[in-house]
Structure 1
Amino acid sequence: MLKKTLSVALLGSALLFAGCQSTPSSSAAEVNNLQTLQNRTWIATQIGSQMLKTNPSARNIPALQFDEATKRVSGADGCNRLMGTYQATGNTLVLSQMASTKMACIDNTLPNQFNTALANVTNYQVYNNTLKLLDRNGNLLVEFKSAKQPR
């Protein structure tokens, strides 16, 4: 009887202590996501299911930069320069107050697709050198690769 009571007490204590252990918090992952997102240039490689092939030396290729200090986003849509603000928490990303220059472009298809995609962004994922902007249903809107910095 004593062995049975002692076994139950030890098992209960083990469960109690296991429940009190801290679990890995998502805040560390969130901080890492924010650090990876911010302060680098992201060059668009895909809009929806359409792969983009751009010459790295071309002007105004679709790209974004997220400035950590000012919480400003800037970049280009393939024709015009973009600017606005952003809020990122966890895996949520809100782009707001977006504005752009109004250049006369030969073909507005790419800029229109890019801007429409940005208007629907609610979430993001960052893995190494890849950034994915997603809609509220988790569908891919735009995929980016981090620009390689010269040494």
Structure 2
Amino acid sequence: MNIAQLYDTYLPQAEALIDSLGVREELVQNDTLCLQVPSNERYDQVKAELTAVGTLISESEINGRLIAVFELHTPLSGPGWSVSFVELPQPKSGAAKEGVRHLQFVTRTSSDSFRAKFPHLTFDERGNARNRLLEVVRDGVAVRFHDKSMGAVVALEQAE
């Protein structure tokens, strides 16, 4: 799986969505590229492939499935953004296509303040108390917003 190529292809689509939402000025960082795979066997293969480009910093069970987080040795760069973390969840039941699931962006303010600033937008709330995520999906493109970087989230998890 060529994550640099996947990022290069998905980022312009995510940027178009961000622009249409009008939230760009409230974003400080694109910190996470989340991948999806169709099977547990492919999860294991992609996880092994990612060790060549990053360090596994977390693998924990969340909502009944493992989610691996890698910190990239060299961040992936795109126009105006760079991403340092790759998240790889085991697939949910039922086959998913392989590729990018979503990009995550860190907001300038808390999740509550971010949501309040954009009352006209409908967010799907995801995550947990440590990492509250606000998601928007349009035309097969998903972006998530959170107020802590993935590195900070993993540090909180490991401290508990």
> TM-score, with normalisation over the residues of structure 1?
0.27
Tell which has more relative contact order, 1 or 2 (C-alpha 8 A, sep 6+): 2
TM-score by length of 2: 0.26
Of the two, which has the highest radius of gyration? Answer: 1
Instruction: Indicate the structure with greater strand content.
Output: 2
